[in-house]
């Protein structure tokens, strides 16, 4: 479904997968393993584009519900894969997935991101806590924040990640505070539904409740 003009969410995937449908297409997160065909079919049928139009795949973190189809999508599209340097070794296979996380087909990332880096018109915001290399992606021109798992929105409430799946909840709170200081109308989270039109205000209120 198209959320705002040029920004789509692929339905039916655990771990939200977003597509920015511009001259160069960008996929943000890839869902649990076994969903690559849903993403490819959406590109072909809903967007009437070729998978080869995808130039960049960005992972907000390494967990399998976000990186699960990166191997197949890279092979099907030829796109570069970008992830924060703090999580890259899990995707490449240099580090084993921690206990409780399913393995994925490994890919060597093409681009290692750091806080403040620009990629495909988006700014990388490092949000450690859920994982060491968790990121959000910020589009100040369109006032959109792709929040990964650092922030979610479900049943009318902003929330953070579940503690049992996060590395450091103290860092999570500090990262949420950083995201609350950005200026955006629309938040697109890794799980749950989109939050608009007053997303930054709602995130700010949630951040204050954690203090």
Whether the ω angle into residue 182 lies within 30 degrees of 0, i.e. cis, is no
CA triplet 9, 1, 7: central angle to 5 degrees?
55
C-alpha span between 63 and 156 (Å, rounded): 25
Contact (Cβ atoms closer than 8 angstroms) between residue 106 and residue 91: yes
Instruction: Classify 88 in phi/psi space as left (phi over 0), alpha (psi -120 to 50) or beta.
Output: alpha
pLDDT of residue 119: 97
pTM over 0.85: yes
Query: pLDDT in tens for each of the 211 residues of the chain?
Result: 999 999 999 988 989 999 999 999 999 999 999 999 999 999 999 999 999 999 999 999 999 999 999 999 999 999 999 999 999 999 999 999 999 999 999 999 999 999 999 999 999 999 999 999 999 999 999 999 999 999 999 999 999 999 999 999 999 999 999 999 999 999 999 999 999 999 999 999 999 999 8
Contact (Cβ atoms closer than 8 angstroms) between residue 27 and residue 18: yes
Strand arrangement of the beta sheet that strand 2-4 belongs to = 2-4, 7-9, 18-21, 25-28, 54-58, 80-84, 111-113
Helix (H) or strand (E) holding 171: helix 169-180
| Distances 17 to 7, 53, 70, 180, 211 between C-alpha atoms, Å | 11, 17, 11, 22, 31
Domain layout of the chain by residue ranges: 2-209
- 145 DSSP β-pair partners: 138, 187
Is the CATH number of domain 2-209 3.60.15.10? yes
The SS3 of residue 179 is helix
Rg (CA), the chain: 16
């Amino acid at each position: 479904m198209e959320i705002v003009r040029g920004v789509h969410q692929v339905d039916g995937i655990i771990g939200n997968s977003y597509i920015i449908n511009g001259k160069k297409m960008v996929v943000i997160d890839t869902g649990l393993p076994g969903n690559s065909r849903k993403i490819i079919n959406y590109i072909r049928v809903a967007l009437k584009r070729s998978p080869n139009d995808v130039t960049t795949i960005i992972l907000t973190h390494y967990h399998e519900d976000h990186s699960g189809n990166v191997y197949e999508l890279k092979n099907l599209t030829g796109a570069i894969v970008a992830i924060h340097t703090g999580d890259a070794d899990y995707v490449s296979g240099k580090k084993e997935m921690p206990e409780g996380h399913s393995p994925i087909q490994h890919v060597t990332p093409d681009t290692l991101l750091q806080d403040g880096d620009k990629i495909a018109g988006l700014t990388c915001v490092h949000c450690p806590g859920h994982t060491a290399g968790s990121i959000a992606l910020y589009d100040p021109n369109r006032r959109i924040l792709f929040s990964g798992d650092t922030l979610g929105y479900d049943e009318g409430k902003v929330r953070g990640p579940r503690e049992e799946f996060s590395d450091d909840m103290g860092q999570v709170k500090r990262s949420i505070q950083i995201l609350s200081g950005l200026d955006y109308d629309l938040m697109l989270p890794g799980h749950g539904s989109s939050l608009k039109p007053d997303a930054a205000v709602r995130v700010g209120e949630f951040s204050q409740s954690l203090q």
